[in-house]
Chain A
Amino acid sequence: MRIANLTHGALFMLGAYIGASTLKTVPNLWLAALITGAIVAVLGGIFERLVLRKLSGNVLGQVLVTLGVSFIIADLCLVVWGGDPIPVPTPEFLRQPVFIAGLAFPAYRLAVVVIAVIAAVGLYVLIERTRLGAMIRAGVDDMEMARACGIPVSRLFTTVFCLGAALAGAAGVVGGPIMSAYPGLDADMLPLALIVVILGGVGSLGGAFIGAFITGFVYTFGVAMLPDLAYVILFLPMILVIAFRPRGLFGKFAA
Chain B
Amino acid sequence: MAMNRRRFVKAAGAAATLGYSGITFSQANTLRLGLMTVKTGPLASGGIDMERALIQYLKEKNYTLAGRKVELFVGDSAGIPAQARTKIQELVERDRIHIMIGPLAAAEALAADDYIRQAQLLTLSVAAAEDLTQRRPNPWFTRGTATSAQCAHPMADYAFKEMKMRRMVTIADDFAYGHEMSAGFQRVFEELGGKIVQKMFPPLTVPDYGTYLAQLKSNVDGIFLGFAGANGFRYLRQFNEYGLMKKVTPVGGMTALDEAVLRNMGDEALGIVTSCWYSAEIENAVNKRFVANFRVDWKYDPGFYAAATYTEAAVLEAALNQIKGRIEDKQGFMKAVRGLKNVETCRGPVSFDQYGNVVGNNYIRKVERKDGRLVNRVIKTYPNVSQFWTYKPEDFLKNPVYSRDYPPAKNLES
The interface of chain A, by Cβ under 8 A from chain B, is 74-75, 78, 82-87, 90, 95-97, 104-106, 108-109, 178-180, 182-185, 187-189, 192, 219-220, 223-224, 227, 230-231
The B1-59 residues at the A interface (CB cut-off 8 A) are: 40-48
Given known A86-B264, A97-B241, contact A224–B211 (CB-CB < 8 A): yes
Contacts of B212 in A (CB 8 A): 223
Contacts of A106 in B (CB 8 A): 238, 241-243
Q: Taking the complex as formed, is B335 at the interface, i.e. its CB lies under 8 A from any CB of chain A?
A: no
Return the chain A residue nearest B214 by Cβ: A224
Asked if A179 contacts B241 (CB within 8 A), the reply is no
Binary CB contact string for chain B from 276 to 307 against chain A (1 if under 8 A, 0 otherwise): 00000000000000000000000000000000
Q: Taking the complex as formed, is B210 at the interface, i.e. its CB lies under 8 A from any CB of chain A?
A: yes
A68 to chain B, nearest CB (A): 15
The residue among A84, A85, A178, A223 with the most chain B CB atoms within 10 A of its own CB is: A84
The interface of chain B, by Cβ under 8 A from chain A, is 40-48, 174, 200-203, 205-208, 210-212, 214-215, 230, 233-234, 237-238, 241-244, 260-261, 263-266
B248 to chain A, nearest CB (A): 12
Asked if B243 contacts A97 (CB within 8 A), the reply is yes
Contacts of B230 in A (CB 8 A): 84-85, 180, 182-184
Could you say which of A83, A85, A184, A231 contacts B233, with CB atoms under 8 Å apart? Answer: A85
Contacts of B207 in A (CB 8 A): 179, 185, 188-189, 192
In the complex, what distance in Å separates the CA atom of A52 from the CA atom of B115? 42
A218 to chain B, nearest CB (A): 11
- Give me 7 A-to-B residue pairs in the complex whose CB atoms sit less than 8 angstroms apart, sorted by A's number: A75-B40, A78-B41, A82-B45, A84-B45, A106-B242, A109-B210, A109-B241
Asked if A178 contacts B261 (CB within 8 A), the reply is no
A167 to chain B, nearest CB (A): 17
In the complex, what distance in Å separates the CA atom of A106 from the CA atom of B243? 8
Asked if B208 contacts A184 (CB within 8 A), the reply is no
Could you say which of A90, A187, A224 contacts B205, with CB atoms under 8 Å apart? Answer: A187
In the complex, what distance in Å separates the CA atom of A78 from the CA atom of B201? 27
Return the chain A residue nearest B262 by Cβ: A84
Asked if B261 contacts A180 (CB within 8 A), the reply is no
In the complex, what distance in Å separates the CA atom of A192 from the CA atom of B242? 23
Return the chain B residue nearest A85 by Cβ: B230
Return the chain A residue nearest B215 by Cβ: A224
Contacts of B174 in A (CB 8 A): 230
Asked if B243 contacts A85 (CB within 8 A), the reply is no
In the complex, what distance in Å separates the CA atom of A109 from the CA atom of B209? 12
B401 to chain A, nearest CB (A): 20
Contacts of B211 in A (CB 8 A): 219-220, 223-224
In the complex, what distance in Å separates the CA atom of A183 from the CA atom of B45? 9
In the complex, what distance in Å separates the CA atom of A62 from the CA atom of B350? 55
The residue among A90, A109, A179 with the most chain B CB atoms within 10 A of its own CB is: A179
B209 to chain A, nearest CB (A): 9
Return the chain B residue nearest A179 by Cβ: B207
Contacts of A180 in B (CB 8 A): 230, 233-234, 237
Chain A to chain B: the 10 pairs with minimum beta-carbon distance, closest first: A83-B45, A184-B42, A85-B230, A97-B243, A83-B44, A188-B207, A182-B230, A104-B243, A106-B241, A183-B42
Given known A84-B230, A230-B203, contact A183–B265 (CB-CB < 8 A): no
In the complex, what distance in Å separates the CA atom of A52 from the CA atom of B212? 40
Return the chain B residue nearest A86 by Cβ: B264
In the complex, what distance in Å separates the CA atom of A220 from the CA atom of B215? 10
Asked if B205 contacts A182 (CB within 8 A), the reply is no
Contacts of B233 in A (CB 8 A): 85, 87, 180, 182
In the complex, what distance in Å separates the CA atom of A137 from the CA atom of B150? 60
Contacts of B244 in A (CB 8 A): 104
In the complex, what distance in Å separates the CA atom of A96 from the CA atom of B238? 12
Contacts of A108 in B (CB 8 A): 241
Asked if B206 contacts A188 (CB within 8 A), the reply is yes
Asked if B265 contacts A184 (CB within 8 A), the reply is no
Contacts of B44 in A (CB 8 A): 78, 83, 183
In the complex, what distance in Å separates the CA atom of A220 from the CA atom of B212? 9
Asked if B205 contacts A178 (CB within 8 A), the reply is no
Return the chain A residue nearest B404 by Cβ: A228
Asked if A84 contacts B205 (CB within 8 A), the reply is no
Contacts of B243 in A (CB 8 A): 96-97, 104, 106
Given known A83-B48, A230-B174, contact A179–B261 (CB-CB < 8 A): no
Contacts of A109 in B (CB 8 A): 210, 241
Contacts of A179 in B (CB 8 A): 207-208, 234
Return the chain B residue nearest A230 by Cβ: B203
B207 to chain A, nearest CB (A): 4
A39 to chain B, nearest CB (A): 22
Given known A188-B206, A230-B174, contact A90–B241 (CB-CB < 8 A): yes
Given A78-B40, A90-B241, A178-B238, 11 other A-B contacts at CB below 8 A? Answer: A82-B48, A83-B45, A83-B48, A84-B45, A85-B234, A96-B243, A97-B242, A182-B230, A182-B234, A220-B214, A231-B203
In the complex, what distance in Å separates the CA atom of A84 from the CA atom of B202? 21
